[in-house]
A = this chain, B = another copy of it.
Amino acid sequence: MAETRIRNMEEFAAVAGISRPTVSKYFHDPSSVRPTTRARIEAALERYDYRPNIFAVNQNRKLTKNVGIVVPYLADPFFAEIARKLEERCIAAGFRPTLFSAHGRPELEVEILDSLRSLKPAGVLLAPLGRASVRREVEQFCADVPTVLFDSNIDGVGEAFVGSDNFSFVSQTVEYLTRSGEEPCFFEMRTPANPNANKRRIAYVQIMERLGLTPRVISIEGEGWAFEEIGRQGALRVIETDGFPTDTVLCSNDRLAIGLLSACYERGLRVGRGEGSALRVASHDDHPFSRFTCPSLTTAAHDYDSVATRAFETLGALIEAGGRFDRRTETLFAARLVLRASA
């Protein structure tokens, strides 16, 4: 390999015995050149590992192969997991994904979108911060760059949304809990960072009323993305004052539940569905760690795979369609109830 070092496409075309633009076509789409030509290029490729300069390639191209993946908070394993799946699918489809995390900070989200523009991405998969997003900026970005929202919806923004059906999450947990024991109260942050949280509270209230039960919402204080700590502090306060209104607590999400379980353990409140348990706890998301809480957490699981797959497919279709859909679609996947020991 590498008899003389190849510096650019010109030199590579020379050793392959073809003109440069033909080589360019080959890299754009190998099947677009004659089989004999292709064979010669690939033979040369074996001997002189050459790769087109990525900056030059994108510099004068109307549509790049770049895809941006933006998540609100990468230190949350849920987003790490879904980002991983999205990355994989992008690579498999020949795109170059770049991963960004807003780290929970709206200004950073704006910055990311800004620098994403200059990457001229073919499309963007965006899980916005939600309530905290600077709506005007996100909206403007989506108007400029073909974008599919996922996980967290913002009405009317982006060409499509793919996520989980919060109503399905809550209805499954509430129904299971009411069927198997006392009715659940709902444990959440008063000012949640994420719009899903609002949807879940609304779903809880609605479902409880439909069942002829009284919804009881416990809203705890706290800002930011340190949900576990917020859940723990909130739970400690509840335990130390009035206690929970029923013996069954449904948490808005698993991270809050993790904090709550930690508080219960600290205070000697036994959690579980067996005899001698003071509390049942269930939640939503199937966070990667929810299997290892004590007790393991009964929760409604995202269909990670489906969300990732569909989000990417939607983006693919969007790019095919030239960046615009006739109408905005919203795809929601149902939850899958995961019964564990906590409820």
A residues near B (Cβ < 8 Å) are 51, 53-56, 58-59, 74-77, 80-81, 83-84, 87, 96, 98-101, 103, 115, 117-120, 228-229, 232, 258-259, 261-262, 265-266, 288-289, 291-296, 341
Contact = CB atoms under 8 A, between A and B. Distances in A.
Nearest to A288: B75
A90 to B, nearest CB: 12
A262 B293 CA distance: 6
Contacts of A87: 101
Contacts of A83: 74
Contacts of A296: 262, 266
Contacts of A53: 59, 118
Given A74-B84, A75-B77, A232 B115 contact: no
Given A228-B291, A289-B289, A294-B294, 18 more contacts: A51-B117, A53-B59, A56-B59, A59-B59, A74-B80, A74-B84, A75-B80, A75-B84, A84-B101, A87-B101, A96-B115, A99-B99, A99-B101, A232-B292, A261-B292, A261-B294, A262-B293, A266-B295
A10 to B, nearest CB: 15
A267 to B, nearest CB: 11
A266 B293 CA distance: 10
B258 A292 contact: yes
Nearest to A120: B55
A98 B116 CA distance: 12
A291 B59 CA distance: 48
A76 B289 CA distance: 11
B101 A98 contact: no
B228 A292 contact: yes
Contact of A98 (B51, B98, B258): B98
B262 A51 contact: no
Nearest to A85: B103
- A-B pairs, 4 with minimum CB distance: A294-B294, A265-B294, A55-B59, A75-B80
Nearest to A264: B294
A76 B75 CA distance: 8
A54 B58 CA distance: 10
Contacts of A100: 99
A119 B56 CA distance: 11
A27 to B, nearest CB: 13
5 contacts: A74-B74, A74-B83, A228-B291, A262-B293, A289-B289
A295 B263 CA distance: 10
Nearest to A100: B99
